[in-house]
Chains A and B, each alone.
Chain A
Amino acid sequence: MKDVKYCFEHFAFYDQATIQERLEEMALAGWMIDKPGHMLWQYRRMEPKKLRFAVTYFSDASDFDPHPTEKQRMMEEFAQKDGWQLAARWGQMQIFYNEEDAPTPIETDAVVQVDMVHRAMKKDRLLAYLSILAICIFQLLFGAGRFLLNPVDYLSTPSYFYQIPAFLLIAVAAMMELFSYLRWYKKAKVIAIESGIFLEMRRNRMASLIFGFLGVLMCVLAFCGSALNSWAVLVWLATLVLILLGVNGTKNRMKHKGFSRTINRLLSYILLVLLVFVLIAGTLLSIIHFGLGNGRTPVDTYEYDGEFFNIYDDSLPLVVEDLTDVNGQWSKEAHIQETLILSNAEYFQHSLLTESSDTPSIEYTITDIKLPFLYDVCKHDMLETYENEAFVPVDGATWNATEVYQLYWHNSARNTYLICWEKRLVEITFYWEPTPEQIAVVVEKLGD
């Protein structure tokens, strides 16, 4: 029989009444609170008992304290006098229990009680919610800037695109926590002053937890969507877990070793920053070095001019061999990015550097637009791709398209075309001038 039990608890930090009731229920079922936490609360087995619980806050305490402060102990001694025994401490929260049926409550003055909760909240919780909110707003603004610069890339890259719902959801969760607390505080303060009654919070945090969870899930999706290789996803997740365990474990070790609050806090923050930089940079470099990031592995390598180059043999919807009857060696690469609203695939078939310069190459980008209102945004973005060159409308009939543009540098036409089909935009560059027959093949292979 297990003597320790972990429960997922979704209490608001300041919802004393709900926490007390839950702990009373657990005690009656034979479980005493041992270690409260952000989500998982640890209980230890005991004789089932009817106990009264009281949750109180000590704003001067910190989760970085090696021991409770003298003042905290003084308060605990006061509580003991009325029969309240300490059950657990968690940062600023202290939980007491009492075996008497109707003991003198720990808090008897609503004004002082509201003030106590507010001091504790102000100390770190409110700051934490505001910081989360600020980070989300910064990320969303940063994303908006990136979107304006390159909408097609932004909307088709999972790591960018899923950041929008991810940070929006996390921001909503933080705002729900923040506003519901501030609304309670405003009301509770007035009621305490005017009527001397403490307004219980009794808040179900499920909604904000769901928003927060979905936000984090979107972040994971953003990572997974970009790293096509499952190893890369695992490496990223392991990195994040390592950072969390590393910082938390070091903080707890320092607490046990008796490091002061200031030193523990300072070293923990330094470690966090170092781990974030070192581990994330290390992970990123490893992924690039071992080729885990793009999910493609080269089939071979070749040497040219003292340097080694990879040869890829990705599957392409259109290859040079479909258009001309030539022999040669190529590297075929496909870079596909897709989100719920847009897919953008870049294909390259480049002749190896060891081949003669007559061996033709081809490259093209296929953008599939899943939401019609994004069509013009994407078209405009693709028309503006080149800084010193311009796309000029040409006859679209041979391409069987609504619109076709050809790239011009001053008055000189390039063999680069932007073909606009109903839901698909294709930019294609031939390394030669295409014939109408070749165009017909392109339409057949790439048309929507």
Chain B
Amino acid sequence: MARVKFQTLTEQMFYVLLCLKNECYGMDILDKVPAMTNRRVNVGSGTLYHLLEQFLDAEMIRETKVEGRRRSYILTPKGKEFLDKEYARLCAQAQDYCTIFGEENTK
């Protein structure tokens, strides 16, 4: 299902993919996301594991290193495409907000 296979990304999906712009160990994402979002977003360990599996299946990320159970991943062009699409969707949403309430209300 995963949001009709990533047509739109949930916040957690978005940040996990964002973390993988550069090669990164799966487990490190658990620290990276809260750090990146000033602890606003936490990714649960189960959620992270399942997301990595789903992204791998959908070829949105690829494995770069396997050291026993320690694996690292990196975003693929396909994954970047999904991120870009989501970014565009979020921008369009923000733009719509501005159109309705004006620039002064955006802060």
Contact = CB atoms under 8 A, between A and B. Distances in A.
Interface stretch (A74-82, A206-214, A267-275, A415-423): A74-82
Given A75-B49, A104-B42, A189-B1, A81 B69 contact: no
Nearest to B66: A70
A112 B51 contact: yes
Interface in B24-44: 26-27, 30, 42-44
A115 interface: yes
Contact of A109 (B4, B12, B27, B68): B12
B3 A106 contact: no
Contact of B30 (A71, A78, A114, A118): A78
A56 interface: yes
Contact of B10 (A70, A80, A116, A196): A196
Contacts of A112: 2, 10, 12-13, 47, 50-51, 54
Contacts of B71: 74
- Looking at A84, A189, A193, the one whose CB has the most chain B CB atoms below 10 A away is A193
Contacts of B68: 70
Interface residues of B, number: 26
A108 B69 contact: no
Interface size class on chain A is: 20 to 34
Contacts of A193: 3-4
A111 interface: yes
Given A74-B49, A111-B1, A193-B3, A81 B43 contact: no
Given A113-B46, A193-B3, 14 more contacts: A70-B69, A74-B49, A78-B30, A78-B48, A78-B49, A79-B45, A79-B46, A82-B45, A106-B47, A108-B12, A109-B10, A109-B43, A112-B51, A196-B11
28 contacts: A70-B68, A73-B69, A74-B49, A74-B69, A74-B71, A75-B45, A77-B69, A78-B30, A78-B49, A81-B45, A82-B45, A104-B42, A106-B44, A108-B42, A108-B44, A109-B10, A109-B13, A110-B10, A111-B2, A112-B12, A112-B50, A112-B51, A115-B1, A115-B54, A189-B1, A193-B3, A193-B4, A196-B11
Interface of B: 1-4, 10-13, 26-27, 30, 42-51, 53-54, 68-69, 71
Interface of A: 54, 56, 70-71, 73-75, 77-82, 84, 104-116, 118, 189, 193, 196
* Top 4 A-B residue pairs of the complex, sorted by shortest distance between their CB atoms: A108-B44, A78-B45, A106-B46, A109-B12
